[in-house]
Amino acid sequence: MGKRKSTGKSDRLVYSEFGTPDRPEDEAIEDYPPADQKITVQASRKGRGGKTVTIAEGFQHTPATLKALLKTLKAQCGAGGAVKDMTIEIQGDMTRKVADVLAASGYKVKISGG
């Protein structure tokens, strides 16, 4: 039997249970200083079954820096939270508290909505 000719598709990822370990988009993100960022904070209930969540968006940080900032916000607010698509979500209507903590950290903060 002869060798099979490679079609070049062998390196194509078909299924990965735990994600890809090397994501090039993570490397492309720069970590800007807090004073150069404008963060919008708002409370939202859309798509969450009526539960209120405080959303802080506009960050230009690496995922590791966002996780560290999330940990600080969760501790200061006494609530749970998550990082989703470069935004931080904190459970409950903590708009004022999140804005105060971010402003104390050097971010330019704007409260949006009601």
- Inform me whether the pLDDT recorded for 96 exceeds 90: yes
Q: Per-residue pLDDT tens for 60-94?
A: 999 999 999 999 999 999 999 999 999 999 999 99
Encoded tokens for 84: 């989703």
Q: Looking at domain 33-111, which CATH architecture does it have?
A: 2-Layer Sandwich (3.30)
CA nearest to 109, candidates 63, 40, 16: 40
- Inform me whether the pLDDT recorded for 58 exceeds 90: yes
- Inform me whether the pLDDT recorded for 7 exceeds 60: no
- Inform me whether the pLDDT recorded for 101 exceeds 60: yes
CA Rg value for the chain: 20
Q: Per-residue pLDDT tens for 26-52?
A: 456 788 888 899 999 999 998 888 899
